[in-house]
Structure 1
C-alpha cells in the first residue's frame, strides 16, 4: 500500500491542479453563474465521471504500454510539460483574462449538462497530464499492486477535485464579485497558480520513470 507521505504529496499535487485555471474550472464557473447552482452540480457530476474514465484507463494498462513503448511516455511527458508551462504563462501574461469572468452559455437541459461536463473532462489536457504522467510518479513496485495503488490515488484525486469544484459551483458568483472588487488579490491568485503550474512542469520534466 502507498505510504502516507506519498499519498499526501499526491493529494497536494491534485489540489494544485484542480485549483489552477483549466477547462473544467472555467466551464463550471460560467455554467453556475449563467444557469444556477443546480446546473453547475449536474455538470460537475459529468466531470467526475470523466475522472473515473481516466482511472479505469490507467488501471487497464497505460503503465504497461509506457514500459514497452517508452517513446510514447516521453512524448506525452514533454507535451504535458510544455502544456503546463503554457497554462502558467497564460495565467500571468499581460492582458490575461481572469477565469472568474464568466462566459455567456446557453441554457441546457440536465442530460445535456451532464454530457457536456463529461466531454469537457475527457478533453481536458490538464487531467490527461495528471493521470498519464504525474500519477505514475507516486507508484512503486514496493507498494504492492499497481491496480490498488492507481485506485487509491484516483480516489484521492476525485475526492479532492469534487470537493473543490463543488465549492466553486456553490460560491462562483460570490467569488467572482469578491475578486472583481479586489484586483490586487486577483493578481496574487494568478501568480500563485503560475507558480504551482511551473513547479508541476519542472517535476514532470525531471521525472525518469516509465
Structure 2
C-alpha cells in the first residue's frame, strides 16, 4: 500500500507535469477549439485510456523489453509522426472541422477523436519511457507488490489526467464556440487542427533517443 506522504508527493509531481505545456495539452486544446467541449473531453478520454495501457506495460515489464531493443524508439516515433501527418491531412480534407455553436459532437465523431487521442499517446515513445522511469520513483518494495503499486499510481495519474484535460477541453471548447460565430471559423479551426498535428509530428521526428541505463536500473525511492 502506498503511504500518504508518497501519494501526496506523487500528486504534486503529477500536477507540475500537467501544468507544463506538452503534446497532450496541445492535442486537447486543438480538438476542444475545433469540436467544442465534447471534442475536448473525447481527446482527454483517449489520452487517459492510453495512459492506462502504458501503466500495464510498465507494470508487466513490456516497456522495459521494448526499451531494451534499440530500434524501438525510432520505429515508434516514425509511426507516430506518420499518424499525426495523416491526421493533419484528414483535418484539411474534412468538410466540417468544427461544429455549430452549442452543438454536440455526434457519437461517430466522439469515438473517432477518442481513438485518435488514444493512438497518438500510445505510439509516443516519450510517453512509453516516461511511465517506465517516473512511476517506479514512488514505489516502495517494502510496502508490497511492486507491479500492484505501479498500477495504483498509474490509475491515479490517468484519473487526474482525465480531470485536468477535461477542464482544459471545456475551456478551449468555449473558445471554439465563440469562434463559430465569426466568419471563416470552420476554415480556421481545420487549419489550426492541421497545424497542431504537423507541429507534433515534427516534434516527434526531432526527438533524440534518451539514455536508458538509468531507467532500466532505477532503484525505487523509499516511501515514508
TM-score bracket, shorter-length normalisation: 0.5 to 0.7
- Larger Rg: 1 or 2? 2
Matches within 5 A, 1:148-187: 148-172=148-172
Cα offsets for 1:63-103 (capped at 9, x unmatched): 8x58xxxx949x9xxx9xxxxxxxxxxxxxxxxxxxxxxxx
* TM-score, length basis structure 2: 0.57
For 1:72 and 1:141, locate their aligned partners in 2 and report how far apart those are by CA, in whole Å: 23
* Residues 52/167 of structure 1: CA separation in 2 closer, same or farther (3 Å cut): same
Partner of 2:127 in structure 1? 127
Partner of 2:115 in structure 1? 115
For 1:206 and 1:49, locate their aligned partners in 2 and report how far apart those are by CA, in whole Å: 24
Contact kept, 8 Å, 1:19 with 1:164, in 2: the verdict is no
Q: Alpha-carbon deviation of 1:4?
A: 1.2
Q: How many residues align?
A: 153
Q: Once superposed, what is the RMSD of the aligned Cα atoms? A: 3.5
Contact kept, 8 Å, 2:48 with 2:159, in 1: the verdict is no
Structure 1: state its 5+ residue gaps. Answer: 80-103, 178-204
Contact kept, 8 Å, 1:23 with 1:124, in 2: the verdict is no
For 1:146 and 1:206, locate their aligned partners in 2 and report how far apart those are by CA, in whole Å: 16
Q: Alpha-carbon deviation of 1:32?
A: 0.5
Instruction: Look up the SS of the partner of 2:2 in the other structure.
Output: coil
Contact kept, 8 Å, 2:49 with 2:158, in 1: the verdict is no
* Residues 144/20 of structure 1: CA separation in 2 closer, same or farther (3 Å cut): same
Instruction: Look up the SS of the partner of 2:40 in the other structure.
Output: helix
